[in-house]
Amino acid sequence: MRLNKYISQCGIASRRKADELIESGRISVNGKVITSLGFQIDEDKDVVKFDGEKIKAEKFVYYLLNKPKGVVTTTLDEKNRKTVIDLIETKSTIFPVGRLDFNTTGVLLLTNDGDFANKLTHPSNKYIREYEVKLNEELTPEIEQKLLRGIILDGRKSRFITMSFPKKEKRDLVIVSTEEGRNHFVKKMFDLVGLSVKKLDRIKFGDFTTLNMRRGEYRKLTSHEIKNIKKV
């Protein structure tokens, strides 16, 4: 088995993040630091350590969380703030799939299955993210069309796939959909057209939604939901 796959099965990180750990010299096999990304191991015989601590594969778990405000989307926080991991009661070592900002709320998946996380976040799979956005002022039809046609963000053309208004008479509340998983993508898009985001809630990620879930509430994914992602 490739070393990065084994690391992901141990719940440390996705395969892509595991590659970064390997390259930075934080992984050893049988006492020897490994920096080769294609390194193969025998999971039944070899001893793999992460930062000097032995790791082993564990049973995969999958959670859907309705993330509240004021919680950090990370496994550890240097400022000792509450993290999304603190909200899940589990003995498994889990990590969030992607990121939501400190004050952004809504759909967040957590797991210890690196392959599952990679399938959800890899750009080629084009999972749709849907957000409800509260703006500082109303959105004009002209700016709406501009955001749908596309603008240059971080050196490349970027756009929202759809935009709609839950309250037709109030255009400062808008629902946008995008395939983009870049950090702060929604906020940056509105910043470029002179608008600021006052409130951001991810209401959908692929087929996952937090409909009828309270803020801070979580549930395990069903076997059907897991299979639908794994067959992609």
As annotated, the active-site residues are 101
Bridge partners (DSSP) listed for residue 101: none
Residues 75 and 117 sit within 8 Å (Cβ to Cβ): no
> Can you tell me whether residue 182 is helix, strand or coil?
coil
Residues 72 and 87 sit within 8 Å (Cβ to Cβ): no
Regarding beta strands 173-178 and 48-50, do their DSSP bridges make them parallel or antiparallel, or are they unpaired? unpaired
Can you state the percent helix, strand and coil of the chain, rounding each to 5? 25, 30, 50
